[in-house]
């Protein structure tokens, strides 16, 4: 019986002393982990993009994107966003088949060829080199106004051959 009591006391000690040390070590490891070129991890989840862009683009798939506060440095990125936080969503995604061509053929917008000049380095592997990007200021203005109280800024570029959209979008969080 004494041998069991010794094991029980040792387990209690390890639980009481070890758990906080593991949590502290994990938290410090996360805080000081190298952030990389753009300070953010490339995301592939679709729910935030479909919520934000559904009225303009419909359902997206196969997305690669970044979302971050553009006013914070990498060292401040562990803070909770405030009401005046500007969040940038930038990335590339597939549209439903035929959607890009339907948007590009809309006579209300004059799409012109463009280059992706503000493409973050982390997203370059996901962008086809032969993509023929087209952009329209009037489409951007209309797409960004739909259902929003504060009009964000941004641009959408489309590749009709691959049904791709590139988005670079800044909005106020809050």
- Provide CB contacts within 8 A for 37, sequence distance 6+: 120, 121, 122
**Domain membership flag for residue 105:** yes
* Cβ neighbourhood burial of 117 (10 Å; 0-12, 13-18, 19+): exposed
**Domain membership flag for residue 8:** yes
Q: Are residues 141 and 56 in the same domain?
A: yes
**Domain membership flag for residue 41:** no
Q: Are residues 99 and 14 in the same domain?
A: no
Q: Are residues 58 and 25 in the same domain?
A: no
pLDDT digits (tens, 9 = 90+) for 112-153: 999 997 899 999 999 998 999 999 999 998 887 755 455 578
Per the structure, how many domains does the chain have? 2
Q: Are residues 124 and 154 in the same domain?
A: yes
Q: Are residues 86 and 166 in the same domain?
A: yes
Residue with token string 């990498």: 74
Domain that holds residue 8: 1-33
pLDDT digits (tens, 9 = 90+) for 62-121: 999 999 888 775 544 445 555 567 888 999 999 999 999 999 999 999 999 999 978 999
Q: Are residues 146 and 62 in the same domain?
A: yes
Which SS3 state, helix, strand or coil, does residue 134 take?
strand
This prediction has a pTM of: 0.70
pLDDT digits (tens, 9 = 90+) for 51-61: 888 888 999 99
């Amino acid at each position: 019986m004494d041998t069991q009591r010794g094991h029980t006391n040792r387990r209690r000690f390890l639980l009481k002393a070890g758990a906080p040390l593991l949590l502290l070590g994990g938290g410090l490891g996360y805080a000081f982990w190298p952030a990389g070129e753009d300070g953010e991890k490339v995301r592939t989840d679709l729910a935030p993009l479909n919520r934000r862009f559904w009225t303009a683009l419909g359902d997206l798939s196969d997305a690669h994107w970044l979302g971050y506060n553009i006013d914070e440095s990498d060292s401040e990125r562990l803070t909770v966003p405030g009401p005046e936080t500007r969040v940038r969503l930038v990335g590339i995604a597939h549209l439903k088949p035929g959607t890009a061509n339907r948007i590009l053929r809309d006579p209300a917008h004059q799409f012109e060829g463009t280059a992706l000049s503000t493409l973050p380095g982390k997203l370059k592997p996901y962008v086809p080199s032969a993509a023929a990007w087209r952009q329209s200021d009037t489409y951007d203005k209309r797409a960004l106004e739909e259902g929003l109280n504060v009009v964000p800024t941004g641009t959408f570029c489309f590749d009709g051959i691959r049904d791709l959209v590139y988005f670079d979008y800044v909005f106020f969080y809050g």
